[in-house]
Every structure is written in C-alpha cells, then in structure tokens.
Chains A and B, each alone.
Chain A
C-alpha cells in the first residue's frame, strides 16, 4: 500500500528551515562572497573572481596540510574503529560491572578538547610526564617537541584515547540490541570467535558503524584544538593540519579573501568525502 502524501506537513519543518538558513546558509553565502573579493575593510573590496581559489589550490603549504589531514583521518579510522569494536565486544553485556565499564569509557568524552591537549602535553613530556619519562627510561629516544614522528605518534595516541570510547559505546549499543536468539542459534551451529562476529554481530553493527565512521571521519578532518595545544602545529609544520593553517591565514594574517576561499574548499572536501562514504553505504544496502 502506498503511503498517503500530505504536502502540508512540510509547513511543520518551516521553522527548522529558517533556523538552518540563518545559522548555516547565510554565513556560508557570506564566506562565498568574501572568497571572490580582496577585502580591505567593510567598504573597500575589490572583485578578484576565482583568483583566491586558484592561488590556494596551488599553494604548497595548503597541499601539504591537506595530505597531512587526510593521512591523520585515515590513521584515526584505521586505529579507532577496530579498537572500539574490540572494546565493545569485551564489555560484559549484563551486570554491575557493565555500568562501571560504560562510565569509565564515557570519561574521556566529557573532557574539553583544550584540556585533553594540556593533559597530553604534560603526560608526554620526556622530563616530567609519565608517558614521556617511561618511554625515555626504556632507552627509546622520544621527544614530541623536536621529532615529527614522535609528535604524530603522540597526537594519534591522544586522539585514540579521547575518541575510541565513542566508537566503543556506539558498538556496545549495537551489540546490546542483538536478540539472544541469534547467539543461541550461533551456538547450536558451533559458531564462535571470528565466525560469530563476522556472521552475527557485524551485520547488526552496520548502522552504528556507519554513524561511528562518519562521525570520526568528519571530526578528525576538522581537528584543531588538541594539536594546537599539544604541538602548536610543530615541530616545523609537521602537525599543521588544514584547520590550523586556515586559522593562521584568517586570524593571524587577516587575509580574509584567501581564507574564505580556503574555507569553501575545506567545506567541499568534507562534504565530498562524507557523500562518497554515504553513497558507498547506500550502494551496499541496495
């Protein structure tokens, strides 16, 4: 039976459309307007067409920051998604200890991003930090303020510590929703371990994993505060991601036109990657 169509229902979403228009669309249109002009002040602007886009797309520092950003996001997903699934599977489904595990997992998510950066800045210091001092005591040369590799490892560890909980909690919710009958049927068939996960749990986790991957992909692509506090984008520019380079351009140098073009390209990149991911999920479901 075909569902009935009532176009008057669209009126119900009109307030939301208005709010979105003023909170997102109007600012976005303003950024696009800025991106085609050389802005000196409110009244002094020169139309430059698409020159800022061309300049940004050929800026080696932009391309380097883009490569770093994509690499960071890929590593974050590769590390956090399997780890989150593994943690979720290890949590008991029932009992008092379940609550304890869930509370412990939720703690990193409650800490403000700049505080996370400060915690890890101290934690990873080779002279007084627990992690840094422990690694140094093992005879490993480690200093995230002077070595790009150490800075990347520290950043990734920090992100994994901060956000794997989110993946684990989402996956736990997905696992908890699987009816016991599936496990009973799997037990009768002798399925356990990898086979149980592959054929029973993973299909039921598909929707929450989609959300988890999308959230982590978008968030890691927009990361700013933690690396800014931990490394300041250094050593050199080794941990300068798109957001930090953009902020330097817009706030530090006050280059509003190029920064606006950069913002539009940044937005387009995130939109494109999210759409590709969404399309691949839709294709698989179809």
Chain B
C-alpha cells in the first residue's frame, strides 16, 4: 500500500466518505428513498442530495482556497451546514 502514499489525513477523509456511503446504503435498504422536490431546482432522491452535498462542498473548499488565506476549517464548517440543508430541505 506504500505506493498509494497514504497519510492519516487522507485516510480519515476517505474513511468518512466510505462510512457515509455505507450509511446511505443501509438507509436505502431500511427506508427506501422517495423522489421529492425541495429548494433544489429539480426532483431528487436521497442519493442525489448526498452527491450534490459532496460536490457543492468540494466547490466551496476550492473557492475558499482560491479567495482567502483564512483557515480552511471555516469552509468545512460552512459545508456541514450546507450539506445538512441540502439533505433536509433540498
């Protein structure tokens, strides 16, 4: 595995995404998703909203890094709120 050049930070990052995907799979089996329309401009499933949360969070982090030298943790906190809003009301 050394060729993959792991660091504990990237391992934690991918583990978090893996756990989130596992949780989404479990939730899908337990409570099958229903397509719904929230504040997002098109009907979405739970998986769609999760993908939109991840993609939007990545964009927020990139914009933060491009625009400011402030700690990126602030962007992460912003993204937690954003992802929560998308999953709940999107």
**Neighbouring B residues of A282 by C-beta, 8 Å:** 42-43
Contact B55 A275 (CB under 8 A): yes
Chain B residues, Cβ within 8 Å of A30: 3-5
Contact of B4 among A5, A29, A36, A43 (CB under 8 A): A29
In the complex, whether A128 has a CB less than 8 A from a CB of chain B is no
| Nearest A residue (CB) for B25 | A10
**A283 at the binding interface (Cβ < 8 Å):** yes
Given contacts A279-B42, A283-B41, whether A47 and B9 have CB atoms under 8 Å apart is yes
In the complex the two chains form, is A39's CB within 8 Å of B32's CB? no
Contacts of B3 in A (CB 8 A): 30, 42
The yes or no answer to B29 lying at the interface (CB within 8 A) is yes
Interface size on B, residues (CB 8 A): 25
Secondary structure at chain A's binding surface: helix, strand, loop or mixed?
A: helix
Name the distance in Å between B46's Cβ and chain A's nearest Cβ.
15
- List B residues 1-21 near A (Cβ within 8 Å): 2-7, 9-10, 13-14
Report the contact-size class of chain A (Cβ under 8 Å from the partner). Answer: 20 to 34
Q: Which residues from B are CB-within-8-Å of A268?
A: 58-59, 62
Q: A271 on the interface (CB 8 Å rule)?
A: yes
Q: Are B55 and A57 interface neighbours, CB within 8 A? A: no
Q: How far is the CB of B73 from chain A (nearest CB, A)?
A: 11
A253 sits at the interface (CB 8 A): no
Please report A residues at the B interface, Cβ cutoff 8 Å: 5, 7, 26, 29-30, 32-34, 36-37, 39, 42-43, 45, 47, 49-50, 53-54, 57-58, 265, 268, 271-272, 275, 279, 282-283, 286
B interface residue numbers (CB < 8 A to A)? 2-7, 9-10, 13-14, 29, 32, 37, 41-43, 51, 55, 58-59, 62, 65-66, 69, 72
The 8 A-B residue pairs with the shortest CB-CB distance, nearest first, are A57-B66, A283-B42, A33-B5, A282-B42, A30-B4, A54-B65, A33-B10, A283-B41
**A-B contact sample (6 more), CB < 8 A, given A32-B10, A268-B59, A272-B59:** A29-B10, A30-B4, A36-B10, A42-B3, A42-B5, A54-B65
A-B contact pairs, 19 of them (CB 8 A): A26-B4, A29-B10, A32-B14, A33-B4, A33-B6, A33-B7, A34-B5, A42-B2, A50-B65, A50-B72, A53-B62, A53-B65, A54-B65, A57-B62, A58-B66, A268-B62, A271-B55, A279-B41, A282-B43
